[in-house]
Amino acid sequence: MDLKGRNFLTLKDFTPEEITYLVDLAAELKEKKKNGELVNHYVGKNVALIFEKTSTRTRCSFEVAAHDMGMGTTYLDSTGSQIGKKESIADTARVLGRMFDGIEYRGFGQEIVEELAKHAGVPVWNGLTNEYHPTQMLATLLTIREHLGKWKGIKLVYMGDARYNMGNSLMIACAKMGMEFTACTAKEYFPSSGLVEQCQEYAKASGGSITLTEDVMSGTKDADVIYTDVWVSMGEPEEVWAERIKVLSPYQVNKKVMENAKETAIFTHCLPAFHDLKTKIGQEVFDKFGMKELEVTDEVFESAQSVVFDEAENRMHTIKAVMAATLGY
Ligand code: CP
Ligand code: NVA
């Protein structure tokens, strides 16, 4: 499998075999790291990390993975660089492409990361856009395989805003890998019909399926994986909280949902999560709306079924695999 020179912008661009290769490579690199075996033949290479939105996991994963592999990193955010204000994405891409061997971008519209990739001349990696979060998907897939042993036939239920990056990306990943994807949410938060149709095609080829339902009990029945995400994403206005809380509260992941899933079911979340009052936004939402836990209860988040920190760790191993493969392993 040769992915050298490829961009990593959305899993739509990758075959199931290529996705499997990237997850396998991540598992191999994880094992090597645990055994203290260095994979650092990228000395002399450098990567640029552009973050127009904030991050803990994605930034640290790119930095640690790059450093493990012997590479240098430069972090750029929208306040400390010329990006957007004084310099277009196309010009930025052509400058960074002359200095760096790869570029990560986290920000707003997918068209921005595509523009960057078009002009950079080096691999560009999507670290999250409004539409997609493909590096998160590799971590999800690795975590599912570690806990449940396979992808084919696994029923993954996504609860929450399924029109945004996480819902879209999970639907694509599941459809490609032969999984049974269910978006269990209010109709207005279903993924777009265009993307659903495209994923139905992937599912036909892989033996997977796509279900959209508003019914929590039938939607989560016998699920293998329950997944959720914040109800309000980065970059969205504060005013949408009231509507999201009203419409998405019935889709909170709680004990009743987990009991309706399979006994062996796992719970996961891309993180960060609002499951208690230990965050500034969590406290503000509580003061205004009186809810102390939002998309997931603290009980489920802290339960033995929760694999959220395994998935968080796997961000680093999978991002390392993406960089290694596209820079040439
Ligand atoms: N899951 C995820 O992308 O986390 P960060 O926003 O912390 O990078
Ligand atoms: N939907 C969330 C995902 C965070 C990893 C956001 O875009 O903020």
What is 149-210 written as a DSSP string? Answer: S--TT-EEEEES-TTSHHHHHHHHHHHHTT-EEEEES-GGGSPPHHHHHHHHHHHHHHT-EE
For residue 168, give Cα distances in angstroms to 20, 162, 174, 203, 292: 19, 6, 10, 14, 27
- Whether 179 and 147 have beta carbons less than 8 Å apart is answered as no
For ligand 2, the distance from its centroid to the CA atom of residue 39, given in whole angstroms, is 30
Which atom, in ligand 2's list, is nearest to the CA of 270?
A: 5
Query: Does the Cβ of 164 fall within 6 Å of ligand 2?
Result: yes
CA separation for the pair 246, 237 (Å, rounded):
16
Between CA 303 and CA 307 the distance in angstroms is 9
The mean predicted confidence, pLDDT, of the chain is 98
pLDDT, position 316 = 98
Residue nearest to atom 6 of ligand 2 (CA): 233
Pocket of ligand 1 (CB under 6 A): 55-58, 128, 136, 270-271
CB-count burial class (<10 Å; 0-12, 13-18, 19+) for 154: buried
Looking at residue 78, its pLDDT comes to: 83
Ligand nearest to the CA of 270: 1
- The number of the ligand nearest the C-alpha atom of 311 reads 1
- CA–CA separation, 159 and 300 (whole Å): 14
Determine the residue of 56, 128, 319 to mutate for testing ligand 2's pocket, defined as the one with the most ligand atoms within 8 A of the Cβ atom: 128
Residues facing 213 on adjacent strands: 184
Per-residue pLDDT of the chain (329 residues; tens, 9 = 90+): 999 999 999 999 999 999 999 999 999 999 999 999 999 999 999 999 999 999 999 999 999 999 999 999 999 998 889 998 899 999 999 999 999 999 999 999 999 999 999 999 999 999 999 999 999 999 999 999 999 999 999 999 999 999 999 999 999 999 999 999 999 999 999 999 999 999 999 999 999 999 999 999 999 999 999 999 999 999 999 999 999 999 999 999 999 999 999 999 999 999 999 999 999 999 999 999 999 999 999 999 999 999 999 999 999 999 999 999 999 99
Q: Is 270 in the pocket of ligand 2 (CB under 6 A)?
A: yes
CA-based Rg of the chain, rounded to a whole angstrom? 19
- Smallest CA-to-CA distance from 107 within 63, 72, 58 is with 58
pLDDT, position 80: 87
Distance 207 CA to ligand 1 centre (A): 30
Strands 102-106 and 124-126: parallel
Whether 233 is in the pocket of ligand 2, judged by its Cβ within 6 Å, is yes
Position 63: which residue type? E
pLDDT of residue 84: 84
Question: d(Cα 131, Cα 106) in Å, to the nearest integer?
Answer: 11
Among 54, 56, 133, residue to substitute to test ligand 2 (most atoms within 8 Å of Cβ):
133
pLDDT tens per residue across span 155-176: 999 999 999 999 999 999 999 9
Percent of the chain with pLDDT over 70: 100
Query: Which ligand neighbours the alpha carbon of 162 most closely?
Result: 2
- Ligand 2: atom nearest CA of 165 is 1
**209 bridge partner residues:** 180
Nearest atom in ligand 1 to the alpha carbon of residue 133 is 3
Task: Convert the pLDDT of each residue in 89-126 to its tens digit.
Answer: 999 999 999 999 999 999 999 999 999 999 999 999 99
